[in-house]
C-alpha cells in the first residue's frame, strides 16, 4: 500500500458520510418546476457560491498538511539538526506529491516544508519573524492579523494562523516550559522565549479579536555601550558619565515609557558592574543578559490554579537582602516593592539599579511616592520624599520618539530635599531641532554645563571624569 493510501485510509469513512449528506440535501427536479401555466414564473438565477482560488489553495494546503503530519511524527526523529529535519520532511512531501497529482498544482512544496518544520520544532507561523534579526517586535491580533516592528515602524505581515485554536497551541508551547498556564480562569500570562524575549498573551473572553500575543525580541548578543553610541541613543560623553556613576556605586533609576528601551539600557548599565561583585537580579520574567559570572537570577511566580503560591517582586526584594548582594538589579518597579527597594538603597546596598514607567524624571519621583503608599503603610509624604531623595542619585530618562528611534533624553541628578520639594538637576538633555523630509527627527544630546554634586565623590573614589564632558562641544575653546 502506498504512503498516500495509508494516510488517507482513516479519512475515507468521514468523506463518505459527507458525500451522503450532500446527496440527501439535493432537491428533486419535480419540486423545482413550476407547472402553473400562468402567470409565467420569473426566472431567478441560482445562487452560486464563489470561492476565491486562494481560499481553495489554502484549504487544499491545510488538507495536505494534516494528511502527512501524522506520518512525520511516526517516522521522523524531530531531535535531529534543523537542516537534516528540513531535508527529511522535504523528501516525505515529494513522495506524497509524486503519488497524487491532485495536490501538485495547488501545493508549494518549499512553503509546506517550511511551515511543517516551523510547526513541529518552532512557534508555528510566527517562527520566521522570530528568526528575522531585523524584526524587534511581533504582535498577533487574532489568527488573521499579524504585525511586526522593523526599524521602529509597524507593518502588517501576510502571516496567518488557521484559527483561534492554532494560536492557542502556539501560546501553550511558549508558556508550558516555564511552568506558566493560560486558560479561561487565568486568561493572561507573562512569559519568555528560550532566548529571553519577553512574551505577553491574553485570550478570550478578555481578548475579543481572538488570542493575542505580543513578543518583544532581544538581541542574541546583548547590546553594549558602543552599540548605543552607534544608534545615537547616547553620546560618548554621556556613556563616560554613566559608566563612572555605575562604578562609583551610585543608585540609578532608568525611567521611560513602554517600548522606550529601558531594559536594554539597564542591561548596558549592568555590564559596567565589576566582575568581582555578587549581583542579584529580580524580574517578573527573566530578561536581563548579564555577562558577569557571579549573577543570581530571581523570577517572580504567579498564583497556581487554586490561587496559592504567588511570589511577588516585593517578596524577592526582601529575600535578596539576605543573600549578601553587592548589587541589586530590579527589572521593573511597579508596586509596593518600591518601599523595600528604597530602604535597601538607604541601608548600605549602594549601586542598585532599577527601572520604572514615567514620562519624565519629575513624574518618576511622583510615581515612586504613589508606589510606596501601595505598601499599605501610612507614611507622611515628607518621610517618603526623605527616603527617595536619600536613596536615588541619578535618573536616566529614556524615550521613544515619533520616528521610532530611542534616545536617552535626560540624565538627571537627584540633589536632595529642600523644604518639601525634591530638587532635580539635569546633567544631559536631548534638544530636538526639527524633522527632515523623510520624517526622521533631528536633534542632539548636549550637557547642560552643570557638574553634579556627587562629582567630588567620584574623584575620591578614584574615578575621574574630564571637565569637558559637562561642556557642550561648541563652547569648548582651545
Q: Domain-by-domain residue ranges, the chain?
A: 1-8+56-121, 124-216, 225-475
pLDDT in tens, 367-388: 999 999 998 888 899 999 999 9
Spatial neighbors of 178 by CB under 8 A, at least 6 apart, are: 191, 192
What is the pLDDT at residue 271?
Answer: 92
Backbone angles phi, psi at 38, to 5 degrees: -145, 150
The pLDDT value recorded for residue 35 is 47
Question: How crowded is residue 3: how many other Cβ atoms within 10 Å of its Cβ?
Answer: 17
Who contacts 384 (Cβ-Cβ below 8 Å, separation ≥6)?
368, 369, 372, 373
The three grid cell numbers given for residue 59, joined into one nine-digit string = 484549504
Residue 104 CA to residue 15 CA, distance in Å, equals 21
The DSSP secondary-structure symbol of 359 reads S
Helix (H) or strand (E) holding 19, with range, is: helix 12-24
* Residues in the chain, total: 478
Query: What does 110-123 look like in DSSP terms, one character per residue?
Result: HHHHHHHHHHHHS-
**In angstroms, what CA-CA distances link 420 with 67, 292, 370?**
72, 40, 16
Instruction: Look at residues 244, 246, 253 and name the one whose alpha carbon lies nearest to residue 292.
Output: 246
Cell numbers at 32, concatenated: 423545482
Residue 7 — very low, low, confident or very high, per pLDDT cuts 50/70/90? low
State the first-to-last Cα distance of the chain, in angstroms, to the nearest integer: 89
Q: At what angle do helices 109-121 and 82-99 cross, to 10 degrees?
A: 130
Residue 192: pLDDT band (50, 70, 90) is: confident
314 pLDDT higher than 90: yes
Q: How far apart are CA 12 and CA 21, in angstroms?
A: 14
Indicate the fold that domain 124-216 takes in CATH. Answer: Beta-Lactamase (3.30.450)
% of the chain residues with pLDDT over 70: 76
Confidence of residue 338 (pLDDT cuts 50, 70, 90): very high
- CA pair distance 406, 10, nearest whole angstrom: 56
The one-character DSSP state at 301 is: B
Mean pLDDT over the full length of the chain:
81
3-state secondary structure of 286: coil
Superfamily of domain 225-475: P-loop containing nucleotide triphosphate hydrolases (3.40.50.300)
d(CA 38, CA 35): 9
Tell which residue, 175, 173, 176, 149, has the closest CA to residue 161.
173
CB 182 within 8 A of CB 137: no
At residue 178, the pLDDT reads 81
Number of other CB atoms surrounding residue 101 within 10 Å: 8
pLDDT of residue 20: 45
415-445: pLDDT as tens digits: 999 988 999 999 999 998 888 888 888 888 9
Residue 281 phi/psi, 5-degree rounding, is -105, 140
- Taking only the tens place, the pLDDT of each residue in 154-185 is 999 998 888 899 899 899 989 888 888 888 88
Q: What is the pLDDT of residue 30?
A: 43
E strand or H helix that includes residue 382: helix 381-391
Q: What is the three-class DSSP state of 210?
A: coil
For the CA atoms of 321, 327, 329, 333, the dihedral, rounded to the nearest 10 degrees, stands at: 50
Q: CB neighbours of 295 closer than 8 A, spacing ≥ 6?
A: 279, 280, 281
What's the pLDDT tens digit per position in 225-256?
Answer: 999 999 889 999 999 999 999 999 999 999 99
Joined together, the cell numbers standing for residue 96 give 506524497
Confidence of residue 45 (pLDDT cuts 50, 70, 90): very low
* Kind plus residue range of the DSSP H or E element containing 295: strand 295-299
- Of 344, 378, 358, nearest to 424 by C-alpha is 358
For residues 351 and 306, is the Cβ–Cβ distance under 8 A?
A: no
C-alpha cell at 210: 481572538
Quick one: cell of 439? 520624517
Quick check: 37 pLDDT over 90? no
Q: With contact defined as beta carbons under 8 Å apart, do 238 and 260 qualify?
A: no
Amino acid at each position: 500500500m502506498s504512503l498516500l493510501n495509508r494516510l488517507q485510509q482513516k479519512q475515507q469513512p468521514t468523506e463518505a458520510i459527507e458525500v451522503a449528506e450532500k446527496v440527501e440535501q439535493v432537491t428533486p427536479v419535480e419540486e423545482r418546476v413550476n407547472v402553473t401555466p400562468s402567470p409565467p414564473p420569473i426566472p431567478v438565477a441560482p445562487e452560486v457560491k464563489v470561492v476565491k482560488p486562494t481560499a481553495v489553495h489554502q484549504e487544499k494546503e491545510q488538507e495536505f498538511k494534516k494528511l502527512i503530519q501524522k506520518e512525520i511524527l511516526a517516522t521522523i526523529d524531530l531531535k535531529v539538526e534543523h537542516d537534516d529535519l528540513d531535508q527529511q520532511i522535504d523528501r516525505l512531501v515529494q513522495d506524497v506529491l509524486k503519488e497524487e497529482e491532485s495536490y501538485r498544482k495547488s501545493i508549494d512544496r518549499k512553503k509546506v516544508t517550511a511551515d511543517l518544520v516551523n510547526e513541529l520544532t518552532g512557534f508555528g507561523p510566527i517562527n520566521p519573524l522570530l528568526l528575522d534579526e531585523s524584526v524587534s517586535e511581533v504582535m498577533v491580533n487574532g489568527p488573521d492579523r499579524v504585525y511586526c516592528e522593523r526599524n521602529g515602524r509597524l507593518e502588517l505581515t501576510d502571516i496567518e494562523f488557521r484559527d483561534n485554536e492554532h494560536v492557542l497551541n502556539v501560546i501553550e508551547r511558549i508558556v508550558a516550559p516555564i511552568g506558566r498556564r493560560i486558560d479561561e480562569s487565568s486568561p493572561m500570562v507573562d512569559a519568555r522565549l528560550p532566548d529571553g524575549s519577553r512574551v505577553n498573551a491574553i485570550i478570550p473572553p478578555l481578548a475579543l479579536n481572538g488570542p493575542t500575543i505580543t513578543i518583544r525580541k532581544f538581541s542574541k548578543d546583548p547590546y553594549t555601550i558602543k552599540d548605543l553610541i552607534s544608534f545615537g541613543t547616547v553620546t560618548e560623553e554621556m556613556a563616560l558619565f554613566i559608566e563612572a556613576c555605575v562604578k562609583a556605586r551610585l543608585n540609578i533609576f532608568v525611567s521611560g515609557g513602554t517600548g522606550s528601551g529601558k531594559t536594554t539600557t539597564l542591561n548596558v548599565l549592568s555590564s559596567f558592574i565589576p566582575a568581582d561583585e555578587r549581583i542579584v537580579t529580580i524580574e517578573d520574567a527573566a530578561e536581563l543578559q548579564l555577562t558577569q559570572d557571579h549573577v543570581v537570577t530571581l523570577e517572580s511566580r504567579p498564583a497556581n490554579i487554586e490561587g496559592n503560591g504567588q511570589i511577588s517582586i516585593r517578596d524577592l526584594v526582601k529575600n535578596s537582602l539576605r543573600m549578601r548582594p553587592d548589587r541589586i538589579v530590579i527589572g521593573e518597579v511597579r508596586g509596593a516593592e518600591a518601599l523595600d527597594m528604597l530602604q535597601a538603597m538607604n541601608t548600605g546596598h549602594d549601586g542598585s539599579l532599577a527601572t520604572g514607567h514615567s514620562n519624565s524624571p519629575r513624574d518618576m519621583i511622583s510615581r515612586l511616592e504613589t508606589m510606596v503608599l501601595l505598601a499599605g503603610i501610612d507614611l507622611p509624604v515628607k518621610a517618603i520624599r526623605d527616603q527617595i531623595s536619600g536613596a536615588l542619585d541619578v535618573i536616566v530618562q529614556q524615550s521613544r520618539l515619533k520616528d521610532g528611534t530611542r534616545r536617552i533624553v535626560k540624565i538627571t541628578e537627584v540633589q536632595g530635599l529642600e523644604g518639601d520639594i525634591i530638587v532635580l538637576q539635569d546633567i544631559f538633555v536631548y534638544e530636538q531641532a526639527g524633522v527632515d523630509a523623510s520624517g526622521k527627527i533631528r536633534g542632539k544630546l548636549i550637557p547642560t554645563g552643570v557638574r553634579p554634586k556627587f562629582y567630588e565623590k567620584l574623584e575620591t573614589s578614584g574615578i575621574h571624569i574630564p571637565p569637558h564632558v559637562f561642556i557642550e562641544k561648541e563652547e569648548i575653546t582651545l
